Structure 1
Amino acid sequence: MTEQQPEYVWAYSDEKPKRGRTWLIVGLAVAAVVIAALVFWLFLRPGAPLASATPTPSASPSVSGSPSASGSAAPSATPEPSETAVPTPPPVPDPDIDTFRGQVQGWLDDAGTGLDIVSSSSGQEALAVIDALEADAQRLADTPAPSSITAEWKDKLSAYESQLGELRSAASNGSTISVGAARSALQSLRALVGL
């Protein structure tokens, strides 16, 4: 009797191959190499567009002489990089009166409303509004005026700021607040720009 030999049959597994995981690992490795090459190209290579030379402080420039074939020394001076110069901003162009009026009109209009509120209030409420008026006055001072009215603008604005200071003193002391002088100073500013 002969024993029956088992028959070997090749059978495919029901389990699907896991190629997705392999491609993910390969893709991440390629992405890491690309990022490393990009970082090197942008920051580390000599002459890179985003590489910045850090200035090294030096007591004096170094001068080195090297003998030449004729026996004479030719000095070559290589200056050390110094502090980075801060570029000066370009001069502010002189605005025309219409442009300037458009820039300051909102603050001047708000000042009139603020003075109305101050005249009908007292104490801390008045001080809060006066703070806002003084902040707007500073913005008016920071806005460049046309050269044709600069001197007059500064004088009238100074008078207005002085009146705001008096209003502050009156509100702080609990005195009667009279906004007539401040309103007059404001009106002369408005008239100067054509409002």
Structure 2
Amino acid sequence: EYQGIMPVRGKILNCLKADYARIFKSEIITDLIRVLGCGVEIQNKHVKDLAAFDLNNLRWSKVVICTDGDVDGFQIRTLILTMLYRLTPTLIQQGYVYIAETPLFEINCGDKTWFAYSDKEKADIVKALEGKKYKIDRSKGLGENDPDMMWLTTMNPETRRLIRVMPEDVERTAEVFDLLLGDNLQGRKDHIAENGARFLDLADIS
């Protein structure tokens, strides 16, 4: 009645590096822009049938990015943010863009369910349930959630958690994204050498 879901189905083009010809050839990107309704803040021959930006034509009061709470999900989130940052920066500047936090754990005890968004929250919930029988499940990816679960975790304004994206967040994200996925090989090596040890427990090394 008042919300719409647009599935992205995987990683979109890195709009930070791609030229406009490639960006506007991407069907998922042009479809996303059409769903938003506000057009793009780009004047370029490759824009073709997309409208010039007009905030009054935005169809939604919030643009919420929902991705899985894993490394792939974070990268997809960053790619979508980067797309908005490059094509419709006013949406971010005016506070229309949000990120939906995705729970990592589902904890069931009797007929009650709790969602934990971090290991600390999981530990706190388990501590509160001490002496009771409970079950902990790793939350499924968004694509595997049934409608009731999607409603509880992502769609219901009463229970979901949203983080408003601020302009400085995106600028910093774009800088780091550029460093990690851009052309500056030496800068990337230096960054990994200086900071890599902090993330060894997350590294997929075999």
Normalised to the residue count of structure 2, the TM-score between the two structures is 0.22
> TM-score w.r.t. structure 1 length?
0.23
Whichever of the two has the greater Rg, that structure is 1
Q: Kindly indicate which of the two structures has a greater share of residues assigned to strand.
A: 2
